[in-house]
């Protein structure tokens, strides 16, 4: 699934759409985002040593993970973060890197989803943890 198809499921648009492609392999979503270097979040983080902020890495994880529930999103729902658990940053992400996300749902309670996710660059672990997000019916926004 490429960016244009991803946009049919996610409400995010540039410059906040942070996933270039996603595929499903069994119950796992695998997505990618190539860090170009001109992104707004790198402009001051940090001059001379640009590093993708951790919160942006978490957003990349989340956007990719939402494709796991695309059928629910097709029913007129929007995903919102409910929480993070055990997030750990292990290695920086820099311009020129292709950030790879792997995520899978570990539990569900109604429209609340618990997802284990990790982000890597060239096989090196950059971030991992559990994401919690809730789907909200669009007519209740």
Task: Answer whether 37's CB lies under 8 Å from 97's CB.
Answer: no
| Phi, psi (deg, nearest 5) at residue 42 | -95, -10
**43/50 Cα distance (integer angstroms):** 8
In 4-43, the DSSP E strands lie at 21-25, 28-34
* Beta strand 98-109 pairing with 112-121: antiparallel
Task: Answer whether 97's CB lies under 8 Å from 32's CB.
Answer: no
Q: Reply yes or no on whether 45 is catalytic.
A: yes
| Phi, psi (deg, nearest 5) at residue 96 | 95, -15
Out of 12, 32, 45, 91, the active site residue is: 45
Residues forming the active site: 45
């Amino acid at each position: 699934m490429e960016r244009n198809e991803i946009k049919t499921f996610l409400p995010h648009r540039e410059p906040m759409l942070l996933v270039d492609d996603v595929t499903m392999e069994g119950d796992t979503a695998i997505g990618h985002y190539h860090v170009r270097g001109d992104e707004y979040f790198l402009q001051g983080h940090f001059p001379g040593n640009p590093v993708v902020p951790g919160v942006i890495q978490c957003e990349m994880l989340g956007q990719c993970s939402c494709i796991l529930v695309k059928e629910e999103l097709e029913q007129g729902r929007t995903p919102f973060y409910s929480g993070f658990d055990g997030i750990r940053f292990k290695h920086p992400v820099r311009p020129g890197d292709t950030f790879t996300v792997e995520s899978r749902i570990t539990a569900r309670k109604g429209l609340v989803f618990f997802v284990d996710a990790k982000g890597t660059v060239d096989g090196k672990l950059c971030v991992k943890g559990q994401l919690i997000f809730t789907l909200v019916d669009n007519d209740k926004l």
